[in-house]
Amino acid sequence: MKRHLEKVYDKCRRQLFACALSVTRCRDLAEDAIHEVFCRLLQQEVVPHNLKAYVFSSVRNCAIDLVRQMNRTTELVDDYIIDPSDNQRETAGKKQFHQLVADALAALSEDERETVVQHLYADLTFREIADLRNRPIGTITTWYNRGLAKLRDRLEE
């Protein structure tokens, strides 16, 4: 099991983080969700049929549980979608644009935001998101298209 999990983590760590971050909107909670899931899965002896899907689903569910345990709404952090390794080299204009995108994402509904982040930042297909969220693919594409339209409108202002 350990070898299989290492492969999934090496291949999907950024996507897993984006998935957890789209739910928690907090870097620390997103990292905690991933850590907790991998610790639990390392204790299992049987490898699930589709390990990648199982890991993504587990991370999303764990992130939801952590947010519920916080018993408060977490605030959107300034660098919600920004790679922290780039922050020191950014120009003021680039930082301002990233803040505008973060603010626009915050204005979306939870379903729209999570779908947009999972597709654009986690590189998940609509089918993977539908499977992960246990929703019809049509619902996922509607949330995505509606979310993108709202982002465009807000960023064009």
120-130 tens-digit pLDDT: 877 788 998 89
Residue ending a domain, among 73, 101, 133, is: 73
For helices 137-156 and 110-120, what crossing angle results, to 10°?
Answer: 90
Domain limits for position 65: 1-73
pLDDT of residue 38 exceeding 60, the answer is yes
Pair 58, 1 in one domain:
yes
pLDDT of residue 24 exceeding 50, the answer is yes
48-57 tens-digit pLDDT: 888 888 898 8
Q: Would you give the DSSP letter of residue 83? A: -
What whole-number distance in Å separates Cα of residue 33 and Cα of residue 18? 11
Pair 66, 102 in one domain:
no
Give the burial class of 82: count Cβ atoms within 10 A of its Cβ; 0-12 exposed, 13-18 middle, 19 or more buried: middle
Q: Specify whether the CB–CB gap between 26 and 73 falls below 8 A.
A: no
